[in-house]
Structure 1
């Protein structure tokens, strides 16, 4: 199951942007293929779980569309689109156990949705109303991390603690291909490997670290780095929901059995901008986007489910209505948000208030009052 750096077919080093040399269960047209390394991990999938996987992916895409629209309308300060990455986010999250703890980056909207996030949880922080809008303990999701790659260290530290508590829970760190160039991710992998920490690293290789292509920062596939740290890894088609689910089940099982960390590189594509402040037309061409659009993870799963008799027109219509209703709730939660007293920024900074913090609060209140004098 350990990643092999050289391509067995060609006997030559692979490229970091090679989208064909990946583990896959569904072809881009939805055709089911066999992969011995993956098949056994999804042999027990009943129809209702497949429909739930599809539903969460549809809701994630509709949520993403709404998030972009709200930002363009001035209701959100920023939004990090995830269109095109729904398979890796939702499918890996569906493999998690209730006690596992997720450490996400700023783009994992599908992970939060699959973990049960409420409509308001997706927008209040981006609107500037909350530091972090959701209940971390209830969702099993740590605060969204803006510092690139820092969550890998947090996940590893938590996993080492869980290990010492003799827990079977696993930490999961999600990050993009750009984060693998950060020291934090590499340092986390050193610690995770050295202490056999129960942590899974999920790299969503969406081909672009803002405006830098993956080939600039990685001569060879990113999954090939993990074995150098003593961590087994798998490189999967990130637009194939079934492959992502199977790979995550393998990785979680490996970590949960006390075998240490595992690494997944999900080869996918960011169809939209890096964030709503980005203009991707300045650094990539329309032909590339069109090629990846034909690998759409939602269309691929829908085609498979239709052919398998698991999903029909009425089922699709029902999911579409649910997605529209969810998006409407997101919009209502955003526009209806009540801005708190600015001084509340000092609330909950410490478990118990103390004199220096109260002095800072008083100075801030006085500063704000100065604008009305």
Structure 2
């Protein structure tokens, strides 16, 4: 600049320090990266909603303690992750608001003697709130030494990766031969070097592993800051590597998961190809193994006037009998069911069916197909 414009180039550093310049640069960079991450989170949610919309009527076992609990719609299960990633986007937006504040003008630590208009600089750099009011760090000591925004971002990123890791764990289980619920496209898997029949879920496993990497960066940043006196210290140079790597890891993971779930657009056909392939018959077979409609039989008896504690005991005897005969509750003859309680009538087989169990849970947030479709429409509108 000095070569180009003379002494004006020498004046550029007036009223500034590396301390407040670097703090400003990192905030500006992280702000733009969070905008990209929020968009990637929206893409992943859309991919999940696309798959959910195709599988509203597909019934799978809902688990607690990884034991078959109650029937749920596969779409309902996927929408649970849409909720998680929606909260992740909200957290990113919230962190962005606190990141988008101007340290410039704090100089080294005490402010400057020059009559700077910090609010004008904030407006110029887009560091404003929703109403357009400039957002400026109000204490010069805090302005140059604050790395809360980096820690907050890494905390939000860690939680997002935890959600990805939970989803990865389920995909890994669902792909195994013991489940066989889903398949994912070959390009997200690898074969074994010596066992040709294997198809290993590489991308979910790698994402599960990278979650530990991001959480480790969070611990590193917290530890970095815990012993620092005010104001700026050279320790803060160590914030860059974990922050940069967290951003790269999260962006890459979100991008590949969106493609793995929803497929990739084929420019020639305008259709998405690849993505998750669902095996409804395997899911239905699994849900029938665990007497998943036992609670529905108890609810049926409660509606007939039996206290729930007594209904619970009746159903326990019915399940034990069904286990002995190696049949589902819905396959027990009416006469056998009536031996457990005389209130049981022919209408019991509606609630005992998988579809009947789903339809009965027709409350806000429930797994009934009508509720699931309403949630899909809500997400479509929110993500449009």
Report if TM-score (shorter chain) is over 0.5.
no
Q: What is the TM-score of this pair, normalised by structure 1?
A: 0.24
Q: What is the TM-score of this pair, normalised by structure 2?
A: 0.23
Structure of higher RCO (CA pairs closer than 8 Å, 6+ residues apart): 1
Higher helix share: 2
